[in-house]
């Protein structure tokens, strides 16, 4: 019985540690609904150090959790998942579109750099630029990538304008992320239920 109890306790201590040590196995995606997503977005350059996740409302009154970044230099970029990505490489042939939901106050040229299992150096050959227009509401953008190979990591340059605020709602390889509906008020919900009788 003692051996069983000791084995059980040892297993209870080891399992959480192995779960922490493993890498994420699915496609990388960030929706910023969980504050732990912030830890994946700390490696950056030319951005204000107070990167944060906060709640904002879109033009329809729907609340969104967004990552807020502010450019403070002329070459800002940020690494989704960190400069050493915590996710498994994915097929750039199979997942050739980067979906980003955002609201930005000034138009600019954005750039996505990437590294592959064949070439682990960020360079102009492994980079693409995209025009992003200013918008007072959130936009769902699709960046068609020509990255190919197995992608080990990427970084996003939110333009070159200094002192520009950007709110990122999501970054995904699986498609645009739908925003949850505006919460209903109790009186409205009760009125609809009452009408059923």
**Chain segment 65-103, per-residue pLDDT in tens:** 999 999 999 899 999 988 888 889 999 999 999 999 999
In terms of Cβ atoms closer than 10 Å to its own Cβ (0-12, 13-18, 19+), residue 96 is middle
Residue burial 57-84, b: 16+ Cβ < 10 Å; e: rest: ebeeeeebbbbbbbbeeeebbbbbbeee
Q: What pTM was computed for the model? A: 0.77
Could you give the domains of the chain?
Answer: 25-178 (2.60.120.430)
**DSSP assigned state of 171:** E
Tokens at 140, concatenated: 């769902």
**Chain segment 4-33, per-residue pLDDT in tens:** 555 544 545 544 443 333 344 578 899 999
């Amino acid at each position: 019985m003692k051996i069983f109890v000791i084995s059980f306790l040892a297993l209870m201590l080891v399992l959480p540690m192995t779960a922490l040590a493993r890498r994420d196995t699915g496609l990388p995606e960030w929706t910023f609904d969980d504050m732990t997503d912030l830890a994946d977005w700390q490696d950056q350059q030319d951005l204000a150090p107070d990167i944060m996740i906060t709640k904002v409302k879109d033009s329809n009154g729907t609340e969104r959790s967004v990552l807020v970044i502010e450019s403070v230099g002329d070459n800002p970029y940020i690494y989704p998942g960190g400069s050493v990505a915590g996710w498994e490489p994915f097929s750039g042939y199979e997942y050739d579109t980067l979906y980003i939901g955002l609201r930005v106050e000034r138009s600019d040229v954005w750039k996505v750099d990437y590294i592959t299992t064949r070439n682990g150096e960020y360079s102009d050959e492994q980079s693409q630029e995209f025009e992003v227009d200013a918008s007072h509401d959130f936009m769902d953008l699709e960046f068609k990538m020509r990255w190919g190979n197995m992608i080990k990591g990427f970084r996003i340059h939110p333009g070159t304008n200094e002192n520009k605020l950007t709110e990122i709602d999501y970054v995904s390889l699986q498609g645009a992320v739908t925003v949850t509906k505006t919460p209903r008020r109790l009186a409205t919900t009760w009125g609809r239920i009452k009408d059923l009788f």
